[in-house]
Amino acid sequence: MQFVSIHEAILNSMSDAVYVVDRDMRIQYANPAAEQMTGYTFDETIGKNCSHVFCERSFRCDGVCPPKKAMRKEVPILHREAETRTKSGEIRETQISISPFFDDGVCIGAVIVIKDITDLKKAEERIRSQNRFLTDVINALPHPFTVIDTNNHELRLANKVAYDGILPERLTCYALAHQRSTPCSGDDHPCPLEDVKKTGEYVVVDHVHHDAKGGYCDVEVHCYPIFDERGQVVQMIEYSVDVSERKRAAQEREKLIADLQRALQEVKTLSGLLPICSSCKKIRDDKGYWNTLEIYISEHSGAEFSHGICPECMQRLYPQYTKK
């Protein structure tokens, strides 16, 4: 086969390995990139069967040779990934494109382009490994963790605590957390996503969310913006901390403080100046009513009375029962 010089210049300038083979799979042309990838020189390549220069997994094609199979089926172009063995025995991950060409409807050869994707495959594996690691980290979090699209409130990511299973398409944050069909609103239940979009800053709000048992729990929602290259907020990271126990403890603490303040006020009432009758010993309350000593003290303190009689009164009132 003869090539016009301009065609050969184009092929020689390509960074991917290019082979031209005849119908019997004998190599008629190889560009410089082919020599760099396989390690075979131009002279070692020309006239050789492609199975002696590059082949998948071994120097022998198993079954029907893919390029020859493509030509027999008259496939316009065939793409596939394969392992290509170099002269030194190294296995490279490659993408092979086979394009047969014809003369009067008869296939007379093919152009084979081999792209070395070894580094790309390694990079993809690193990304997959990093994604697996990040997924494990996120799933290990004890709190619900989600990533939300700020345009439509739809969840783009959720850990197992937030949603255990494959995340459905178009599931919104308000449907998951509140089982409602519209976003949160109002001063009592503000939408943190809107605040993050407006301010572009970290936001914390108190919400009431549905829990895994079908009940409700008080949560503290932490929200962080994710920006695109133009500085626009496009997504939001949200994680929620269950603060139900904390709120119950705070309510109990507030009740205890109120009880103590009320008791202290009552104690202060008893410690003040008390108007008392010098004859019957009744005490006048702040409303002007006169109460017995027992009633007044019982109403203004936690004291209770148990009546008896002292020895002096016993002697005075019941001398007959007093032992001499």
Q: What are phi and psi of 178, to 5 degrees?
A: -120, -5
pLDDT of res. 69:
57
pLDDT of res. 63:
41
pLDDT of res. 108:
85
Per-residue b or e along 210-224, where b marks 16 or more CB atoms closer than 10 Å to that residue's CB: eeeeeeebbbbbbbe
Q: Are 5-121 and 142-242 in the same CATH fold? A: yes
pLDDT beneath 70: ranges in the chain? 1-4, 55-77, 212, 266-272, 301-302, 323-324
Q: Cβ distance 179 to 196 under 8 Å?
A: no
Closest CA to 18 of 83, 99, 90: 99
- What is the fold, at CATH topology level, of the domain defined by 142-242? Beta-Lactamase (3.30.450)
pLDDT of res. 53:
83
Q: What is the spatial distance between Cα 297 and Cα 285, in angstroms, rounded to a whole number? A: 11
pLDDT of res. 119:
93
Q: What is the spatial distance between Cα 175 and Cα 277, in angstroms, rounded to a whole number? A: 70
* Beta-sheet pairing, 203-210 with 216-227: antiparallel
pLDDT of res. 106:
79
pLDDT of res. 64:
40
Q: What is the pTM of this model?
A: 0.56
What is residue 60's DSSP assignment? Answer: S
Q: Cβ distance 68 to 25 under 8 Å?
A: yes
Q: What is the spatial distance between Cα 243 and Cα 209, in angstroms, rounded to a whole number? A: 11
| Range 5-121 classified under CATH 3.30.450.20 | yes
DSSP letters of 231-298?
Answer: S-EEEEEEEEEE-HHHHHHHHHHHHHHHHHHHHHHHHHHHHS---B-TTT--EE-TTS-EE-HHHHHH
Map residue 304 onto helix, strand or coil.
Answer: coil
Q: What is the spatial distance between Cα 161 and Cα 66, in angstroms, rounded to a whole number? A: 49
What are the residue boundaries of the structural domains of the chain, listed by start?
A: 5-121, 142-242, 274-324
Q: What are phi and psi of 302, to 5 degrees?
A: -95, 10
100-108: list long-range contacts, CB under 8 Å, 24+ apart: 100/70, 100/71, 100/74, 100/75, 100/76, 102/74, 107/23, 107/71, 107/72, 107/74, 108/22, 108/23
pLDDT of res. 290:
87
